[in-house]
Amino acid sequence: MTESGEKERRSRGRRGAGASGEGGAPPGRPAATRTRRAFDRDQALAAALREFWTYGYESTSIASLTKAMGINPPSLYAAFGDKRQLFGEAVRLYQRTIATAPSVEGQDARSSIEAMLRHMAADYTDPRHPPGCLIISAAANCGPGSQDVKAELRGMREASKAAIAARIRQDVEAGRLPGDTDADGLAAFYAAVIQGMNQQACDGASREVLEKVAESAMRAWPMTGRG
């Protein structure tokens, strides 16, 4: 065989090995190292949630996020998009796992709201996570470029306040509260109590202190005039 023939044979061999997967990935399948994620996405998201909860959206940087999550910026962008999208996922994780009040089905509005306040007194001071409520605190100091974050969290708080008002109206209609009860005003009062409990927790107040706040707040409940 001539020298040129030998070179051609070797060239065909190398092409064949590449096509068959020997020394490379099979046809149509990317190399495993290109698709394998080198970190646990759920754990990284939980770490991001803690950062946003502790420092707020505006003050949390990509550098602090990647350090807490144990990943580099390209991995963050590839897995979560950008900081805004990552925050949205963190908020949804918070709603699924933290911001869940106990069931109060069948209770009257007063019992439901009292149970909610007591739950928050415990949750806002739970040492297993940052104090207070992410949805109340995370957008407290947003600049002009983050107004969408502020609006999103405000919408969640307004929805919670509307749910409280709706629960109060049910009791007005059922005769458990006076007919002239201002459901919206009473709901706004308890929403303000919740936001105050959040700030107290962030300032270091104990569960016992917040429970006293809840007890005092329930004294404002309208009298039914019965008995």
- Please enumerate in sequence order all residues whose Cβ is within 8 A of that of 64, keeping only pairs 6 or more positions apart, or say none: 51, 55
Q: Is 59 left (phi over 0), alpha (psi -120 to 50) or beta?
A: alpha
Burial of 53 (0-12, 13-18, 19+ CB in 10 A): buried
pLDDT of residue 107: 83
Query: Is the alpha carbon torsion for 36, 71, 66, 200 positive or negative?
Result: positive
pLDDT digits (tens, 9 = 90+) for 49-91: 999 999 999 999 999 999 999 999 999 999 999 999 999 999 9
pLDDT digits (tens, 9 = 90+) for 19-52: 434 334 444 544 444 445 678 999 999 999 999 9
pTM of the predicted model over 0.85 = no
Q: Which residue has the tokens 């490379």?
A: 24
pLDDT of residue 105: 62
Residue 125 has pLDDT above 60, yes or no: yes
